[in-house]
Amino acid sequence: MAKSPVTVTVTGAAGNIGYALLFRIASGAMLGPDVPVRLNLLEIPQAVKAAEGTAMELNDAAFPLLDSVNIYDDVNQAFEGSNVALLVGARPRTKGMERADLLAANGGIFGPQGRAINDHAADDVKVLVVGNPANTNAFIAAASAPDVPADRFNAMMRLDHNRAMSQLKEKTGTPISEIEKVVVWGNHSADQHPDVSYATLAGRPALEMLDAEWLSSYFVPTVAKRGAAIIEARGASSAASAASAAIDHVYDWVNGTPDGSWTTAGVASHGEYGVPEGLIFGFPTISRGGAWEIVSDLDISDATRAGIKRNIAAAQEELDAVRDLGIL
């Protein structure tokens, strides 16, 4: 029997990430090759016409799984019946800015969207926040949706995770499919802590193959500052790789992570590793039955402990800033 369509809401649909994301969702890459999709696109009124153009192209691509495309500039309508919501719509940073500099411009977007999700989305809604600063925006949305369990609000840390895997592949020649148990702890900011302490490369411990100097002087800063390097090179922030990471995140959330491995997701802490409850933080995570579990029993090194502490402070500083702005 044909499955009924899943309603996917994408905000910022006319933007750069939206353009790279929507076609892959419609192709089945995000939910699976037999899951029809109803796309609800949310844009600000000035960008609705551009979203209409994207919708024309989506229809012209004749994806067998695409049930329908609807465009809204009303937040409540856009989240009606949403099973999956991708909160992408927000301003990107430009050269010289840190992601936290976007709080004043973007923070105000996520409270109303959280409330609309609370009031209109389906009971099983899963929300991935991509718009920066992603962890804090996810916290704002979750705090505005008291009837939705906090673990349904994720922040995208998967791009950082994928960047870490890519650097390991480049250094060692190990195929991506044979790199396991990398994690990027913390905040999607330059403070993040990419960590290979538990990683294996084709079954061998990564720490046996990589020298400490390369890890601390090249790997960690390259991964943590990759967003700024992309802005410097392209003149615009990463878009296709961000869309691809969003697809990976939701695919794993819905379909599960492979046995014996984990990925990085920005999820609400329950106090693991001393991270305050409710903070949305990059952790090693396993997905089973449509829910993330934090891998909570790792023996962590002093360096990892320090990285986690630094990220707690960075995340709390962003939350203090939004409180000062009256957003929370």
Ligand X SMILES: O=C([O-])CC(=O)C(=O)O
Active-site residues: which are they?
Answer: 188
CA 300 to CA 303: how far, in whole Å? 8
CA distances in angstroms from 169 to 195, 241, 283, listed in the order given: 15, 16, 21
Annotated binding-site residue? 131: yes
**152: partner contacted, choices ligand X, ligand NAI, none (Cβ within 5-8 A by kind):** none
Residue 7 pairs with which residues in a beta bridge? Answer: 38
The distance in angstroms from the start CA to the end CA of the chain is: 46
- Cβ atoms of 281 and 135 closer than 8 Å: yes
Min CB(239)–ligand X separation in Å: 9
8 A C-beta contact, residue 243 and residue 17: yes
Of 6, 10, 40, 43, which one interacts with ligand NAI (CB under 6 A)? 43
Distance CA 83, CA 101 (A): 31
Copy the structure tokens of residue 162: 């994928």
Helix axes 16-27, 48-60, angle to 10 degrees: 30
Which are the contacts of 110, defined by CB distance < 8 A and separation ≥ 6? 87, 129, 131, 137, 138, 140, 141, 144
The one of ligand X, ligand NAI, none whose footprint includes residue 16, by CB under 5 to 8 A per kind, is ligand NAI
Site track 151-190 with ligand X (rule: CB under 6 A), x = hit: --------x-------------------------------
Bridge partner residues of 96 (DSSP): none
Please check if 15 is assigned to a binding site.
yes
Is 14 a known ligand-binding residue?
A: yes
260 annotated as ligand-binding: no
Q: For residues 257 and 97, give the distance between their C-alpha atoms in angstroms, rounded to a whole number.
A: 34
Pick the binder of ligand NAI from 3, 44, 57, 234 (CB under 6 A): 44
Q: Which does 42 bind (CB under 5 to 8 A by kind): ligand NAI, ligand X, none?
A: ligand NAI
Selection from ligand NAI, ligand X, none that 265 binds (CB < 5 to 8 A by kind) is none
Q: What minimum distance in Å lies between the beta carbon of 261 and ligand NAI?
A: 21
> Hunting for tokens 């290979």 — which residue is that?
196
* Binding map of ligand NAI across residues 254-293, x = CB under 6 A, - = no contact: ----------------------------------------
Give the residue, chosen from 7, 8, 84, 93, that forms a contact with ligand X under the rule CB under 6 A.
Answer: 93
User: For the window 103-142, what string marks contact with ligand NAI as x by the rule CB under 6 A?
Assistant: ---x--x--------------------xxx-x--------
- Using the structure block, give the residue that is written with the tokens 């933007």: 15
Element (H, E) at 201: strand 200-201
Candidate segments 112-120, 174-182, 223-231, 261-269, binder of ligand X by CB under 6 A: 223-231
Please, which of residues 121-140 interact with ligand X by CB under 6 A? 132
Beta strands 37-42; 66-72: pairing state: parallel
Half-sphere exposure of 190 (CA within 13 A, CB side): 12
- What the block records as the tokens of 85 is 């919501």
Q: Cα–Cα distance between 41 and 27 in angstroms, integer? A: 16
Which among ligand X, ligand NAI, none contacts residue 230 (Cβ within 5 to 8 A by kind)? ligand X
Which residue, judged by CB position, is nearest to ligand X in the bound state?
A: 227
The residue ranges that bind ligand NAI (CB under 6 A) are: 11-12, 14-18, 42-44, 47, 88-93, 106, 109, 130-132, 134, 156, 159, 188, 237-239, 242
The residue ranges that bind ligand X (CB under 6 A) are: 92-93, 99, 132, 159, 227-228, 230, 237-238
- Residues annotated in a binding site for substrate: 93, 99, 132, 163
- Residues annotated in a binding site: 12-18, 93, 99, 106, 113, 130-132, 163
